[in-house]
Amino acid sequence: MKVAREHQLRLIELQDFDTAVSQLNHKEKTLPEILRRDQLKAALPIAENALVSAKTVASDIQKLVKRADEDVEQVRQRISKDSALLDSGTLSPKDLVNMQHELETLKRRQNVLEDEELEIMTKAEEAEGVAIAAQSEFEQAKAELESATAAADILIAEIKAERDQNFTHIEQLRKVIDLDLIKLYDKIKSDQGGIGAAKLVDKTCDGCRLELSSTDLSAIKASDVEEVIRCDNCRRILVR
C-alpha cells in the first residue's frame, strides 16, 4: 500500500490523540476520588438501614413504655378508688376485710408494674441512644458522600473536557487521512491493545520497542517513502 508521507505522519498524530483518550479513560476509572465516592455510595444504604431499624426498635420500646405506664395508672386509680371506699366507713366489717386484702394485693401489683416500667424505660433510653447514634452516622455518611461526589465531579468534568478536545482533533484527522490507511490502522489498533501505528525511532519500533535488523532497516531505506511499512515483530504501521 502506498500513501503520501503526509498522511502517514498525520496517522502518528492520530495515534497520539487516541492514546491520550485511552489514558484519560484509564485515569477516570482509577481515580481515587471516584473509588472513594463509589465506596461511600455503597455504604450509605447500610447506614440508612441501620438507622431505620434502630428507629423501629426505639419506637416499639416506646409503645411498651406507654402500655406499662397505662397499666400502672390503672392500678393506681383502682387503689385510690378502693382507699376512698375504705375510708368512707360505709363498708360492712366483712367487706372491710376483703377490701384491705384487695388493697394489699393491688399495692404489690403496683410495685411489680412500676419495677417493670422502670426496666422498660431504661431499655427505651438505650434504644433512643442507639437511634441517635445511627442518625448521626447516617448524616455523616451522607455528608461525606456529598463532598466526595463533588470532588469526583470536578475531576470527571476536567477529564471530560480534556477528552473532548482530543476527540475534536481525532475527528479532524480522521477526515483528512487516507481512508484505506485509517482502516488498516483501526484493525491493527483493535488487535494490538490500542496502538496501530508507531514511529521508527532510530533503529527501534516505538510500538514494541524492539530494534529492527539491519536487513530490515536497509530494506526500509531503499523503499519508496510512500510505501506503508509494518513492523516485522508487532505488525504495527511503522512511520519513518
Q: Which residues bind Zn ion (CB under 5 A)?
A: 205, 207-208, 231, 233-234
For Zn ion, the closer of residues 68 and 239 by Cβ is 239
Minimum gap (Å) between residue 36 Cβ and Zn ion: 39
d(CA 33, CA 52): 29
Minimum gap (Å) between residue 220 Cβ and Zn ion: 12
For Zn ion, the closer of residues 163 and 236 by Cβ is 236
The dihedral built from the CA positions of residue 170, 175, 176 and 179, taken in this order, carries a sign that is positive
All residues at 6 or more sequence positions from 180 whose CB lies less than 8 Å from its CB, including other chains: 1, 3
d(CA 240, CA 225): 8
Q: Cα Rg for the chain, rounded, in angstroms?
A: 42
Minimum gap (Å) between residue 180 Cβ and Zn ion: 21
d(CA 177, CA 15): 12
Minimum gap (Å) between residue 47 Cβ and Zn ion: 52
d(CA 143, CA 204): 53
Q: Between helices 179-191 and 5-30, what is the axis angle to 10°?
A: 40
- DSSP code at position 206: T
Minimum gap (Å) between residue 215 Cβ and Zn ion: 16
Minimum gap (Å) between residue 184 Cβ and Zn ion: 15
Burial of 169 (0-12, 13-18, 19+ CB in 10 A): middle
C-alpha 224: how far from its chain's center? 56
For Zn ion, the closer of residues 124 and 239 by Cβ is 239
For Zn ion, the closer of residues 116 and 232 by Cβ is 232
